[in-house]
């Protein structure tokens, strides 16, 4: 009798806890801010022509004459900028091979109330996050690029995405598969969220503390991640590197940085849709996933995971490369993607 009473009490307590959790999530979900639908628009961008000049100015009308060679769109990642793509080892080789290079910057959205990132993560964990709670997503960033491509009337484009930019590149290929000439993902994953790339969990926790609890991060003085060393190379002036790192820290801790984080962790899976497009013959472009052997942000297994899930996708792990390719490593990435020269490594 006493044992039955104990079991009954335990069950009642558990049911009460479940009910409380459900009610908290329900009312929290109702209280999340809602956003007006984000109307796609061309993001800020620059185009580098064959002569090295930037044509046309940002968001200007498209030129009347279009090159027969599809342009290359380079998409940067979280709290980054087009400067991540090396001028000497990435942009110059593409120009020498006759490409126009398009360098977009993700269109910011800092308006409205701040995004409660912790609540967004909790609701995402319980799979009950309303899409209207996010002012920006991977899909909205891709939709902006669709507008850019349509405004210029490009029939085909080569797309290279780094980190979060790789996720945006995948979403772009889903939106306009017929316009993709090639798809290259560098240090990225296919979702949902950060899966199935098996991210470095310790580094992921550090990133979460850095973005959501900047004061705690400063107190603990954990190792900074800004990727600036990879952008500027080993010979860059230390003062300039320090200044660029500080700019990147402020960007990642800003409201826009947190909204990008929310877009990443709440992203839907893209591998099934990409695979379906390939199987139906709508996406005929070469697809390659490239990962760095020394990547501390996204595990090298992200490349092979993409290859397993997407028919025809090739995967390559570049030795000694980190999350952001350094100077000459960008040239190797372009070779692997087939954009320049001949491939120097075998696909994994």
Residue 131: the pLDDT is 73
Residue 58: the pLDDT is 43
Angle CA 302–304–306, to nearest 5: 70
Domain residue extents for the chain: 1-31, 45-337
Residue 279: the pLDDT is 96
Q: Is 227 left (phi over 0), alpha (psi -120 to 50) or beta?
A: left
Burial string for 88-107 (b: 16+ CB within 10 Å, else e) reads ebbbebbbeeebbbbbbebb
Q: Which residues in the chain land under pLDDT 70? A: 1, 50-68, 197-241, 243-253, 342-348
Contact 292, 300 (CB under 8 A): yes
Q: What are phi and psi of 200, to 5 degrees?
A: -65, 110
- Residue 315 in 3-state DSSP? strand
Taking CA atoms, 2 is separated from 5, 7, 12, 15, 20, in Å, by: 5, 9, 15, 20, 27
Q: What does pTM read for this prediction?
A: 0.81
Residue 341: the pLDDT is 80
CATH number of 45-337, picked from 3.90.320.10, 3.20.20.10, 2.30.110.10, 3.40.50.1820 = 3.40.50.1820
What is the per-residue pLDDT across 112-157, written as a single tens digit (0 to 9) for each?
888 888 788 778 777 778 878 889 999 999 999 999 999 999 999 9
264: nearest Cα among 45, 80, 65, 50: 80
Rounded CA separation 340/348 (Å): 20
Residue 198 class from Cβ within 10 Å (0-12 exposed, 13-18 middle, 19+ buried)? middle
Residue 203: the pLDDT is 61
Rounded CA separation 282/200 (Å): 34
Taking CA atoms, 118 is separated from 17, 30, 125, 303, 321, in Å, by: 21, 15, 11, 29, 32
């Amino acid at each position: 009798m006493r044992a039955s009473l104990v079991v009954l009490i335990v069950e009642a307590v558990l049911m009460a806890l479940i009910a409380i959790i459900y009610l908290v999530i329900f009312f929290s979900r109702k209280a999340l801010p809602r956003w007006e639908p984000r109307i796609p628009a061309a993001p800020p961008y620059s185009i580098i022509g064959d002569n090295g000049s930037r044509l046309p100015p940002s968001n200007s009308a498209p030129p009347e004459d279009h090159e027969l060679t599809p342009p290359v769109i380079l998409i940067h990642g979280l709290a980054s900028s087009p400067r991540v793509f090396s001028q000497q080892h990435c942009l110059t080789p593409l120009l020498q091979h006759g490409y126009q290079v398009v360098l977009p910057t993700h269109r910011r959205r800092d308006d409205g109330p701040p995004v409660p990132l912790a609540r967004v993560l909790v609701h995402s964990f319980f799979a009950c996050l309303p899409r209207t709670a996010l002012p920006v997503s991977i899909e909205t960033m891709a939709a902006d690029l669709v507008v850019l491509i349509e405004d210029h009337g490009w029939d085909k484009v080569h797309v290279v995405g780094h980190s979060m930019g790789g996720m945006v590149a995948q979403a772009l290929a889903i939106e306009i598969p017929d316009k993709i000439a090639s798809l290259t993902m560098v240090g990225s994953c296919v979702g949902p969220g950060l899966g199935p790339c098996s991210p470095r969990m310790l580094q992921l926790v550090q990133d979460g503390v850095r973005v959501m609890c900047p004061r705690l991060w400063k107190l603990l003085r954990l190792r900074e991640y800004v990727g600036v060393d990879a952008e500027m190379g080993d010979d860059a002036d230390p003062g300039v590197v320090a200044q660029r790192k500080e700019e990147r820290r402020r960007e990642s801790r800003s409201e826009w940085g947190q909204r990008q984080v929310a877009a990443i962790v709440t992203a839907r899976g893209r591998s099934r849709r990409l695979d379906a497009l390939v199987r139906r013959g709508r996406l005929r472009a070469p697809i390659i996933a490239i990962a760095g052997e020394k990547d501390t942000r996204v595990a090298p297994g992200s490349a092979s995971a993409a290859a397993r899930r997407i028919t025809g996708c090739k995967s390559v792990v570049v030795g000694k490369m980190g999350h952001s390719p350094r100077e000459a490593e960008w040239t190797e990435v372009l070779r692997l993607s087939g954009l320049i020269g001949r491939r120097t490594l075998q696909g994994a």
